[in-house]
Amino acid sequence: MDLLELFFIVLGAAVIVCYGVRLLLFTRMLFPKMWFPLSKSFFTSMGEWAVVTGASEGIGRAYAFALAEQGMDVVILSRTKATLDQVAKEIGASTGQRVKVIATDLMEDVFSEIEDQLRCLNIGVLVNNVGMLPSFIPCKFLECAELDQTITKVINCNVKTMAKMCRIILPAMENRGKGVIVNISSGVASIPFPLYSLYAASKVFVERFSQGLHAEYKDKGIIIQAVTPFGVSTRMADYQKTNIVTLSPEDFVKSSLQYIRAGDKTYGSVCHIVLGWLLQCVPLEILYADSILLSLQNYVKKRRHPPLKVTL
Ligand SMILES: NC(=O)c1ccc[n+]([C@@H]2O[C@H](COP(=O)([O-])OP(=O)(O)OC[C@H]3O[C@@H](n4cnc5c(N)ncnc54)[C@H](OP(=O)(O)O)[C@@H]3O)[C@@H](O)[C@H]2O)c1
């Protein structure tokens, strides 16, 4: 065997090992229960209370319910007191757990009041879920209505709130040497996403911040994870019909909680893992073609404002 032959054999073996390892890591994500098992008391062992922002509906509401079903008392935050009270009643009735309601606008400077209200609680889990789109119809940056206010609102809601809530809750977790922080990002943060530029960039912040924080605090027994869903049928997603890629908030949350020990970032469900992988395989030139972007815009427009049926 000459040297060149040996070189190609070693190279071939290295490629097979490399792709084998990648395949193994990928299959781990398809079977989270097997690879990242959680004990029944996993969440309650982190502390007594879970705090969920943006919890009056959608994904946040589903997290609040799911964590109460795991035996945690929950603090739920959003703007609308009446809806929060209703959710609190439903969680209390179905799980028997205590629910504390904080009605507040997280775009405002409300964090010292929130800190006062949370001070005496033993908080084991924080879900930074609150988030908003700059515009319901995807549009170019300069086409967003009331752009100056929108920039401030999106940054405050999607970025500042998460960092501030971590600042409030992380110190006690560090002292106790345990805790879980889940920060909701978005699948659109996987690539630069035209027509969602401001939103997608705010979600990239969520992702990078979570990953950095996880590396800083994992030795203290704290898990910090970015969750990056694609379609979930909520008000933000115009209550799209559920299907193989658009999940109900309850199904998405049930699935995403199984990935809590799967590292600093997860798509949270098998179908969104596959979607994320596919999205990264599509050449950006194709994705950024004017015709594709226009179709996306028209699709959302039509869904939000279906044409009136004229009956003669
Ligand atoms: N749905 C999806 O397809 C999808 C996909 C990827 C990522 N995400 C992310 O998932 C998270 C939750 O989204 P969702 O679809 O469940 O949204 P949603 O249905 O619009 O619910 C948003 C929740 O946040 C609250 N909220 C909004 N603005 C607030 C503010 N300024 N202060 C306090 N509470 C506020 C809302 O209640 P009030 O209006 O009563 O305040 C509501 O409880 C967001 O971070 C979103 O970016 C969603």
Phi, psi (deg, nearest 5) at residue 96: 80, 5
- 248-297 pLDDT per residue, tens: 999 999 999 999 999 999 999 999 999 999 998 989 999 899 999 999 99
Show the tokens assigned to 156.
């405050």
- The topology under which CATH files domain 44-304 is Rossmann fold (3.40.50)
CA of 130 to the centre of ligand 1 (A): 5
Q: Kindly report, residue by residue over 134-179, the tens digit of the pLDDT.
A: 999 999 999 999 999 999 999 999 999 999 999 999 999 999 999 9
199 catalytic, yes or no? yes
Q: Which of 199, 217, 259, 267 is catalytic?
A: 199
What confidence tens digit (pLDDT) does each residue in 40-64 have?
999 999 999 999 999 999 999 999 9
Collapsed DSSP state (helix, strand, coil) of residue 130: coil
Of 84, 85, 130, the one to substitute when testing ligand 1's pocket (max ligand atoms within 8 A of C-beta) is 130
Measured in residues, the chain has a length of 312
DSSP secondary structure letter of residue 220: G
Cα–ligand 1 centroid distance for 23 (angstroms): 34
In ligand 1, which atom is closest to the CA atom of 107? 31
pLDDT (mean) for 290-307: 86
By the 8 A CB rule, do 263 and 36 touch?
Answer: no
- Ligand 1 lined by 186 (C-beta under 6 Å): yes
97, amino acid identity: Q
| 78 CA distance to ligand 1 middle (Å) | 9
- 112-121 own/partner pairs: CB under 8 Å, 24+ apart: 114/77, 114/165, 114/168, 115/168, 117/75, 118/51, 118/75, 118/168, 118/169, 121/48, 121/49, 121/51, 121/75
CA distance 7 to 260: 42
- CB of 268 closer than 8 Å to CB of 252: yes
Residue pointed to by tokens 């909680």: 257
CB of 202 sitting under 6 A from ligand 1: no
List the residue whose alpha carbon is closest to atom 7 of ligand 1.
Answer: 186
